[in-house]
Amino acid sequence: MGISANSFCPCGSGQKYKRCCKQYHDQSFQPTPLALMKSRYTAYAIGNAGYIVETTHSENREFKQNKELWKAEIETFCWATTFHKLEILKSEIIHSEAFVTFRAIMSQGEKDISFTEKSRFLQENDRWLYRSGEFL
Ligand SMILES: [Zn+2]
């Protein structure tokens, strides 16, 4: 887990991590919905559970008041999973709501757990949050 700042970013941008999702992880910039989607994928890939928790809307069904327990669950998932590739299929913003459709190529051991999801993001107080996801 973790990543060097000079490694290629796991989101697949072709940029170094420090020039890509790290800027959002460090909260140097507020991400657009597309950048939020990518930086959340990267956070999963490198085990940055804090970023997942901070960018999840309080009405998301995974949301837990016990942040420490929630982070530990995310870390367990991250450690058990290999994140191979992220493919963005579609991205649209409609006022304070946004949708990003993506395919995440992932595996756990020998098992392929890749999936396609249409994520929904909501803007609150000038920042975007992950509200929910629908499997396609
Ligand atoms: Zn990135």
What is the rounded CA–CA span in Å between residue 89 and residue 21?
Answer: 19
pLDDT digits (tens, 9 = 90+) for 5-32: 999 999 999 999 999 999 999 999 999 9
100 Cβ contact partners less than 8 Å away, ≥ 6 residues apart: 33, 34, 37, 88, 90, 91, 92, 118, 119, 121
CA of 38 to the centre of ligand 1 (A): 6
Distance 12 CA to ligand 1 centre (A): 6
Domain ranges of the chain: 17-135
Please check the confidence at residue 1 and state whether its pLDDT lies above 90.
no
Instruction: Tell me, in angstroms, the distance from the centre of ligand 1 to residue 45's CA.
Output: 11
Compute the distance from residue 5 Cα to the ligand 1 centre, in Å.
11
Q: Does domain 17-135 have CATH number 3.10.450.50?
A: yes
Q: pLDDT-derived band of residue 2, with 50, 70 and 90 as boundaries? A: confident
Residue 130 has pLDDT above 80, yes or no: yes
The pTM is what? 0.96
pLDDT for 43: 98
Which pLDDT score, from 0 to 100, does residue 65 have? 95
pLDDT, one tens digit per residue, over 44-73 is 999 999 999 999 999 999 999 999 999 999
Q: Which residues of 28-40 are buried (b: 16+ CB within 10 A; e: fewer)?
A: eeebbbbbbbbbb
Q: What is the pLDDT of residues 84-123, one digit of tens each?
A: 999 999 999 999 999 999 999 999 999 999 999 999 999 9
Ligand 1 geometric centre to CA of 132 (Å): 21
- The Cα 47–Cα 40 span in angstroms is 10
Closest CA to 37 of 12, 14, 61: 12
134 C-alpha vs ligand 1 centroid, how far in Å?
23
Q: 10: CA distance to ligand 1 center in Å?
A: 6
Taken as a whole, the chain contains a residue count of: 136
Query: How close is the Cα of 18 to the center of ligand 1, in Å?
Result: 9
